[in-house]
Amino acid sequence: MKEYLEPGRFIDSAHTAVVEFSRKHVSGNSERERAVSLYYAVRDGVRYNPFLDFSRAEAFQASAVLAADEGFCVGKASLLAACARAAGIAARVGFADVKNHLTSPRLAETMGSDLFVYHGYTDLYLDGKWVKATPAFNLELCTRFRVKPLEFDGRADSIFHPFDQDNRRHMEYLRDRGTYADVPVEAIQQAFREAYPRFYRLGPEAAKETFTPS
């Protein structure tokens, strides 16, 4: 478990800001309760933003996500893992390719796909087993788009719902990309360049301007 408790380049759990955030928000008597408190702190305390410059390593780094007060799924997963490690809880990051059946037509056009490669989540070691936690979508965003918020109790995996609040098909998991002690940024960036050439041609700001939620 040593590698899942020590700081990494991107899961930089020894960074002063990460340690302070973890200490501020962690609560509970058991390791599971502390993990749950950190999950909600990251889920709702850091805004989800998919329109970032993924060519910059900062998009994947826990302390940078915290400083920006926003991040996409991988950055927020990295932050939760870092906060957990700062609290003495073994943590790693995991990845999967998912299909978002509710992707708006304009976002699908911008990205050139409704497939999202290397979706990131956090894997926490609690009560003798690894438990998945997905802190990507903050509660405000879920309410706005009528997506079911992901709750986490530290016992069962918290992964995307297959249907939204209106029973429309939502997320479908297609491929497991494995788990890592630190974020494999170079592999993710390469996969993004191959999967989203249109997004890279437009740039994150131009892509953001073309996005109008349905």
For the chain, what is the mean pLDDT? 90
The pLDDT score that the predictor gives to residue 205 is 58
Q: Which of 171, 169, 71, 164 is nearest to 115 (CA)?
A: 171
Rounded-to-integer distance, Cα 116 and Cα 199, Å: 12
pLDDT of residue 104: 65
- What pLDDT is recorded for position 213? 34
State the pLDDT confidence band at 102, using cuts at 50, 70 and 90. confident
Q: So where are the chain's domains?
A: 2-203
pLDDT digits (tens, 9 = 90+) for 167-193: 888 899 999 999 999 999 999 999 999
pLDDT for res 145: 84
Place of tokens 């986490």: 152
Q: What is the pLDDT of residue 209?
A: 47
For the purposes of burial, counting CB atoms within 10 Å of the CB of 186, is it exposed (0-12), middle (13-18) or buried (19 or more)?
exposed
The token duo for 57 is 């390593």
Does the domain at 2-203 match CATH 3.10.620? Answer given as: yes
Residue 163 confidence class, pLDDT cut points 50, 70, 90: confident
Judge whether 80 and 189 are in contact, CB under 8 Å. Answer: no
What lies within 8 Å, CB to CB, of 114 at 6+ separation is: 99, 100, 101, 103, 108
Model pLDDT, residue 58: 96
pTM: 0.92
Range 22-46 average pLDDT = 98
